Amino acid sequence: NAGVMQNPRHLVRRRGQEARLRCSPMKGHSHVYWYRQLPEEGLKFMVYLQKENIIDESGMPKERFSAEFPKEGPSILRIQQVVRGDSAAYFCASSPMLGETGGDEQFFGPGTRLTVL
Amino acid sequence: GDSVTQMEGPVTLSEEAFLTINCTYTATGYPSLFWYVQYPGEGLQLLLKATKADDKGSNKGFEATYRKETTSFHLEKGSVQVSDSAVYFCALSATGGGNKLTFGTGTQLKVEL
């Protein structure tokens, strides 16, 4: 069973460009979470999605950031008009449906390291 | 809101030394508690977890006990190895699980020969 896949692993953008980060959850997982890790800091929750639904976006910046998890395909975290402060590692995690065995455990991908020049 | 406090690093130990990394939390209800490990350039891997008071999570020689009375979940290992060098994160998820994780800031561990 393949783990959580994220691509690209490294992404370089200039200020003002758009960044698209992709996450494919583990097979059978219907919940996806996005976290951001700033340099020398812990991970901060951004958004929690199920297929076609945003469940909790309390950690998302109000502007420029959006996330989706369509019925088909990977989850996408989109950052418009990037600024230098967006430089960070963005991690995706997935979990099984709530109530199933291990439903409270999240499995993390290797992350996408975004650098904004 | 929920929060996790970890001891600051880096922690530098000699191989075979005893390890303790302190973690305390603030949360309503009965959260699940986790320790994750991050090796350089990689994502987080679940090391161990505990879902209710007095539970002990253990894995690869590491263990931590969910102490509700002291709101703590300290990580311990009796004899560390160089390969244990990594960043360790304590985390909690709200009552009921399957929800967002709240992380501590992480503690870097360096084990030397």
Please tell me which of the candidates A35, A95, A108 has its beta carbon nearest to residue B98. Answer: A95
Distance in angstroms (rounded) separating the CA atoms of residues A98 and A104: 7
Contacts of A95 in chain B (CB under 8 A): 98
As given in the structure block, the two tokens for residue B20 are 């303790």
Cβ atoms of residues A56 and B100 within 8 Å: yes
- Looking at the DSSP bridge assignments, the partners of residue B5 are B24
Where are the extended beta strands (E) located within A17-64?
19-24, 31-37, 43-50, 53-56
Q: Which pLDDT does position B56 carry in this prediction?
A: 96
B41: nearest CA partner in chain A? A110
Size of interface A-B (CB pairs under 8 A): 62
The predicted structure's pLDDT at residue A41:
79
Judged by CB atoms closer than 8 Å, whether chains meet at A106 and B42 is answered as: no
CB A105 within 8 A of CB A95: yes
Across the range A16-41, mean pLDDT stands at 92
**Cβ A42–B98 below 8 Å, yes or no?**
no
* Reported confidence tier of residue A99, pLDDT bands at 50, 70, 90: low
For every one of its 113 residues, what pLDDT tens digit does chain B have, with 9 covering 90 and above? 889 999 888 999 999 999 999 999 999 888 889 999 999 878 899 999 998 899 999 999 999 999 999 999 999 999 999 999 999 999 998 765 457 899 999 999 999 99
Q: Mutate one of B4, B39, B52, B101 to test the A interface: name it (highest A CB count within 10 A).
A: B101
Q: What is the reported pLDDT for B96?
A: 52
